[in-house]
Structure 1
Amino acid sequence: MGYAPIGARDEDLADVPKDQLKGLVCEEINIANGRTSSLSGIVVRSKVDSNPKVAIIYFQGNAGNPLHRLPVFQTLLSSPSPIRVPLDIISVAPRSYWKSTPRRPTQAGILSDYRHVLDYALTRYPSIPIILYGHSLGGAIAVCLTSLLSDSKNPEHGSIPYYSDPRYQQIKGLILENPFTSVPDMVQALYPERWVPYRYLAPLVFDKWDAHSAMTQASNRQPGAPETVLDRLRRDSLILVSEKDEVVPPEMSLRLAAAARNPADLSNAPKSKILEGALHENAWQTRTWRIEITRYINEILRTW
């Protein structure tokens, strides 16, 4: 849905209301993905913080462009001292969104796009921790991507195409906000009526974005299999759930949190927090959202 809302592909940084840029430094970036594709995005930081201690890569949901998330970033970056952490937020539009190459947005293509965004971040920030933040569809993308990344140099295991890079060790955090378990699950949630055909066709969807299966496999990794970044992050992830989410059923996000638990050690579980009264798109307006994310970032810095 890169076309929604109308005009989302044509907006410029100059079109952003000044109040949404207050206190921010916003830089437009362009990242190449191969010889014929390019990705447009922004890097945002607070004006009072020149040397970031953490970099967050933001995976957007299924509409709009990075400029629409500026109020979210502004809220996070305006956390009062001393709890505020100097950080940079990288938000890049995948193919068919905003000014990025208008190719058909397949699962394989978007995963490739965000892997190049990750490479860009690791090159730009070689000595600070990286946190992945996914909202809605972006949450499923973050889970599916990290399930394909390995810190090992040679993570060969059957026919699974892992991407290996020792620099992935820099990825220290995973924040998921209102993520869904899979596209087939979403279809059945949106069309629960038995007389509607979509729920029966859901298993046939081509791009499933099956975050639940990826998380379950990470929790049940067999001895000898190469550890993925998701294996490492799942038990320390933060999952934020809007209590009154009208798009993604809250129980889906909680199912994902349950799947991330280690069945052999139930005490070693990801952090999940229900944001009271929040809807799908306004979790960032709750005080709890900012407190939980800031606390999570500080915990990662303490162990860095």
Structure 2
Amino acid sequence: MTVVFQEKIIYMPYMPPFARSEKIADYAASCRPVEWREEKIRSIDGTRISLCVGKLPDTHGVPAQKQVCTMIALSYRGYWKSAGKASQRGIELDAQAMLDFVASAYPHAMLVLWGQSMGAGIASTAAAHHIERSIAPPIAGLIMETPFMSIESMLFALYPQKWLPYRYLSPFLRSHWDSGVALRRIAEAGKQPPRVLLMPATRDEVVPPEEIEALEQRCKDLSLEYDRKNVLGALHTEATSRREGQQAVAEFVRKLAAP
């Protein structure tokens, strides 16, 4: 049953409850002054997916010469208002479609991909594919928040006991999200690789510290430029809800944007 229903276990698009019925308007007040809108696009295979696009309004008084940040959040297939069912192959197509949308709408942007937890694997895989396709705009930065090396490595980390069956299920995985492989693809693409921000939470109750150490070592082995910021005292989902994590992301982006 674990093998058959692995997508439901890995992706859990039904959590939190009622997530698929939430509306952008429900969070408008807490997001000010950033204004968000829904953008509907088609994935590479035609699946209807939704994006959340957020930016400062034109009336916010931002000088024309100032750089303005636009954030685009991808709702994977099976999540929120996106159709379909989540799978690695499908989400890879969704990420490619989102990046094609960005290339069309913001061709001169400084592009930074950001993923949290499993999303870090999705972001790194998307970055590798984008770089290999030589699509503009190039990716300047990759933020990996509370990341792990791969789903397979997490199976071994979470279930080290040899008498438990879970560690032996890795040959049957349909989703891998292997950031180690993605980073290698990025390094070997022959293009200017993005700078990487590794941001673990020091009290992460889900991802063991060995995972971030392995990712950092992979960056070193591949000669990728990277920064590491440990968010002290944070649990798995708290890294960027804390001021320290927010400042780390802001400083990373400022560094990328510096002439």
Residue 180 of structure 1, CA deviation: 1.2
Greater relative contact order structure (CA < 8 Å, 6+ sep): 1
Q: TM-score, normalised by structure 2?
A: 0.85
Residue 109 of structure 1, CA deviation: 1.1
| Structure 2 Cα separation of the partners of residues 285 and 168 of structure 1 | 29
2:54 aligns with 44
- What secondary structure, in the 3-state scheme, does the structure 2 residue paired with 1:112 have? helix
1:121 aligns with 2:102: yes
1:142 aligns with 2:118: no
| Structure 2 Cα separation of the partners of residues 299 and 209 of structure 1 | 28
Residue 269 of structure 1, CA deviation: 4.0
Cα distance change of structure 1 residues 91 and 52 upon mapping to structure 2, 3 Å threshold: farther
Q: Within 5 Å, which residues of 2 pair with 1:66-81?
A: none
| Structure 2 Cα separation of the partners of residues 302 and 114 of structure 1 | 27
1:156 aligns with none
2:164 aligns with 196
Q: Which has the higher helix share?
A: 2
Residue 2 of structure 1, CA deviation: 0.9
- What secondary structure, in the 3-state scheme, does the structure 2 residue paired with 1:284 have? coil
Residue 104 of structure 1, CA deviation: 2.6
Aligned match for 1:20, one of 9, 20, 30 = 30
Contact 1:262 1:269 in 2 (8 A): no
- What secondary structure, in the 3-state scheme, does the structure 1 residue paired with 2:22 have? coil
1:278 aligns with 2:234: yes
1:163 aligns with 2:124: no
- What secondary structure, in the 3-state scheme, does the structure 2 residue paired with 1:283 have? coil
Q: Within 5 Å, which residues of 2 pair with 1:1-304?
A: 1-16=12-27, 19-34=29-44, 36-47=46-57, 48=60, 86-101=68-83, 103-150=84-131, 162-165=132-135, 167-169=136-138, 171-216=139-184, 218-219=186-187, 221=188, 226-227=189-190, 232-233=193-194, 236-262=195-221, 269-303=225-259
- What secondary structure, in the 3-state scheme, does the structure 2 residue paired with 1:275 have? coil
Contact 1:49 1:87 in 2 (8 A): no
Flag structure 2 segments of 5+ consecutive residues without an equivalent.
1-11
| Structure 2 Cα separation of the partners of residues 52 and 196 of structure 1 | 60
Residue 217 of structure 1, CA deviation: 5.1
Contact 1:43 1:89 in 2 (8 A): yes
Contact 1:275 1:289 in 2 (8 A): yes
- What secondary structure, in the 3-state scheme, does the structure 1 residue paired with 2:162 have? coil
| Structure 1 Cα separation of the partners of residues 94 and 46 of structure 2 | 12
Residue 213 of structure 1, CA deviation: 2.5
Q: Mean Cα displacement is larger for which, 33-42 or 279-288?
A: 33-42
- What secondary structure, in the 3-state scheme, does the structure 2 residue paired with 1:120 have? helix
| Structure 2 Cα separation of the partners of residues 285 and 11 of structure 1 | 20
Count matched residues.
246
- Percent pairwise identity: 29
